[in-house]
Amino acid sequence: AAPAAPKPLPSYVAWKDPAAMIVHTSGTLETRRSAFGTSIITPSEQLYIRNNLPAPDASIVADRDGWEIMVEGVKAPRKLTVRELKTMGLETVTMVLQCSGNGRGLFPNKPSGTPWQVGAAGCVVFSGVPVRAVVEALGGVAGGAVYMTGTGGEKLPEGVDPKSVMVERSVPLAAMADALLAWEMNGAAMPLAHGGPLRLIVPGYTGVNNVKYIKRLAFTVEQSDAKIQKTGYRITPPDQKADESQPSVWEMGVKSWINSPSGEQGPLAAGPMQVKGVAFGGIHAVKSVEVSVDGGKTWQAARFVGPDMGRYAWRQFVLPVRLAAGTHTLMSRATDAQGNVQPEGRVDNVGGYNNTSWRDHALQVTVA
Ligand code: MSS
């Protein structure tokens, strides 16, 4: 089928690369599979966007260093400006930022929500102060807190219960170990669209847990009672209603997919070619990846390309193959450092979250 006329970039992300982006809605933009290059880092202009609420006004980045965050649930709770945070420590992490629903469009039962294919993910460099350093400076975590809760700073629509719309997420306290309050992405001031002036970064956790324009960080005994935490982003079995007993969408699992050939440019020329893609471990480092060009019957070890950027980054992989004329089913399967293998299937759930299935990510290519 002829592709539909592309939607223009929304004005708040007019600086994105239009050729690289699929615009689903004004708050959901996906990176085109064919746009993923071999650089480990996804250029900011090509990184996906997901906003649950309308993005805040650019006035919030007019005075970046003056942005304030309230830190609660520590012995000495207080407000801190970004200016003060910058004096408290500095760390940098290269990591996969991936929407919980990435791959939702590949579920055979088509759950409702943005039908992301593979491009609600990227690998980016975040820099900021370790949350640990901030907590230490404020006397440590207080009173039996077991969650770290971040609150987004967007203006909420009027006339609705704030709890029903606000972006506020809780993650287990253990996630604090590698978490950052970040003001920089890919070496530049954090773009407003990606959470500037200040964003909570929780490496190894899905996108939603990385709260943008963060205005409050709290160490809490309970999870947030905001809807997005209580019933949103849960692994809700099909035919059930979401509730707090179901697992929250937190840590990412081992995953990989092929980006090239993308299948987007029509039939390929028969003969030798380099099959290329990305693999990551999620909460653990990725160890290896295999590729199949016969629909999963046989697998060959692929080779990682470029440097290892750490536990939370993805690795680019390549496998030289030779394809004859015909139709071929290409797939990849990663293994993490703990020996967890990317699964063939997925856990079906109402929200279409956490699709790591290698079979769902299979690519059909035609060779002429
Ligand atoms: N934050 C805030 N504040 N708001 C919103 O909306 N979203 C989420 C995160 N954070 C939000 C936040 C999501 S959901 C995601 S993915 C992410 O973010 C995205 O990011 P970027 O930067 O890419 O846009 Mo799903 O899981």
Interface predicted TM-score of the whole assembly (ipTM), two decimals: 1.00
pLDDT given for residue 6 in this prediction: 77
Query: Is the confidence at residue 4, as pLDDT, over 80?
Result: no
Annotate 108-129 with b (16+ C-beta within 10 A) or e (fewer): eeebebbbbbbbbbbbbbbbbb
Lining ligand 1 with CB less than 6 A are 47-53, 97, 99-101, 152, 154, 167, 194-195, 206-208, 210-213
Q: What is the largest CA-CA distance in the chain?
A: 68
Residues 167-176: tens digit of each pLDDT: 999 999 999 9
Residues 203-218: tens digit of each pLDDT: 999 999 999 999 999 9
Q: State both tokens at 343.
A: 């699964």
Cβ pair 317, 279 in contact under 8 A: yes
Residues 6+ apart with CB under 8 A from 367: 267, 268, 269, 270, 323, 324, 325, 326, 327, 328
Report d(CA 73, CA 98) in Å as an integer.
Answer: 28
Give the distance (Å) from ligand 1 centre to CA of residue 213.
10
Annotate 235-274 with b (16+ C-beta within 10 A) or e (fewer): bbeeeeebeeebebbbbbbbbbbbbbbbbeeeebeeeebe
pLDDT class for 274, splitting at 50, 70, 90? Answer: very high
- Residue identifier of the C-alpha nearest atom 13 of ligand 1: 208
Query: Is the confidence at residue 263, as pLDDT, over 90?
Result: no
Give the distance (Å) from ligand 1 centre to CA of residue 291.
31
Report d(CA 318, CA 273) in Å as an integer.
Answer: 10
| Ligand 1 site-directed mutation target among 210, 214, 249, most atoms within 8 Å of CB | 210
pLDDT given for residue 364 in this prediction: 94
Q: pTM for this one?
A: 0.98
**CA-CA distances (angstroms) from residue 9 to 13, 43, 97?**
6, 17, 21
pLDDT class for 164, splitting at 50, 70, 90? Answer: very high
Report d(CA 75, CA 61) in Å as an integer.
Answer: 30
Instruction: Give the percent of the chain with pLDDT over 90.
Output: 95
DSSP three-state, residue 160: coil
pLDDT class for 5, splitting at 50, 70, 90? Answer: confident
pLDDT given for residue 1 in this prediction: 58
Report d(CA 101, CA 107) in Å as an integer.
Answer: 10
- Residue identifier of the C-alpha nearest atom 21 of ligand 1: 49
Report d(CA 192, CA 74) in Å as an integer.
Answer: 28
pLDDT given for residue 20 in this prediction: 97
Q: State both tokens at 43.
A: 């250029």
pLDDT given for residue 110 in this prediction: 87
Query: Is the confidence at residue 2, as pLDDT, over 70?
Result: no
Ligand 1 atom closest to the Cα of residue 100 is 26
Annotate 205-223 with b (16+ C-beta within 10 A) or e (fewer): bbbbbbbbbbbbbbbbeeb
Give the distance (Å) from ligand 1 centre to CA of residue 252.
15
Cβ pair 60, 197 in contact under 8 A: yes
Report d(CA 347, CA 286) in Å as an integer.
Answer: 21
